[in-house]
Chain A
Amino acid sequence: MFPSFTPVSTGRVSTEIVQQVKTAIRDGRLAPGDQLPPERDLTRQLGVSRVSVRDALRMLEAQGLVEVRVGARGGAFVTTPAPKLVGEGIGDMLLHADVTPADLTEARMVFELGVIDLACARATEDDLRVLEEICDRADALATAGGYDPALSAEFHAQLARCSHNDALALVAAALQGPLAGSLREARRVDPQTGRVGPLEHRALVETLRRRDAAEARRILSEHIARTARRVGVSG
Chain B
Amino acid sequence: MPRQRSEHELAPGLFAPISVARASSSIADQIRSAIVNGRLREGERLPPERELAEQFGVSRVTVRDALRALEAGGLVEVRVGARGGAFVTVPTGALVGQTMSDMMMMQAISPEDIVEARLIVELGTVSVACVRATDEDLARLRENVERGAEALRAHTYTREASWDFHTALAAAAHNAAVDGLTQSFRSTLSLHPVRTREGTAAHELSVEEHTRIVDALERRDAGTARREMAAHLMRGTNLAKRESPLLGLWSTEPKRDGVRKRR
Interfacial residues, chain A to chain B (CB-CB below 8 A): 12, 14, 22, 25-26, 32, 54-55, 58-59, 61-65, 80-81, 83, 85-86, 88-90, 92-100, 102-104, 106-107, 109-111, 113-115, 117-118, 120-121, 165-168, 170-171, 178, 213, 217, 221-222, 224-225, 228, 233-235
Contact = CB atoms under 8 A, between A and B. Distances in A.
Nearest to B178: A107
A93 B245 contact: no
Interface string B50-73: 000000000001001100111111
29 contacts: A55-B68, A58-B24, A58-B68, A63-B99, A63-B102, A83-B103, A83-B108, A90-B181, A90-B184, A93-B91, A93-B184, A97-B37, A98-B90, A98-B176, A99-B180, A100-B176, A109-B124, A110-B120, A110-B124, A110-B125, A111-B124, A114-B119, A114-B123, A117-B249, A121-B245, A170-B109, A171-B181, A217-B254, A235-B260
Interface string B1-45: 000000000000000000000001000000010011110000000
B116 A107 contact: no
Main DSSP-derived SS at the A contact region: helix
A98 B41 CA distance: 10
B110 to A, nearest CB: 7
B211 interface: no
Interface string B160-175: 0000000000000001
Contact of B175 (A97, A103, A121, A167): A103
Contact of A106 (B35, B98, B175): B175
B121 interface: yes
A80 B244 CA distance: 28
B110 A107 contact: no
Contacts of A170: 100, 109
Contact of A221 (B35, B127, B245, B257): B257
A107 B175 contact: yes
B213 interface: no
A58 B184 CA distance: 23
B257 A213 contact: no
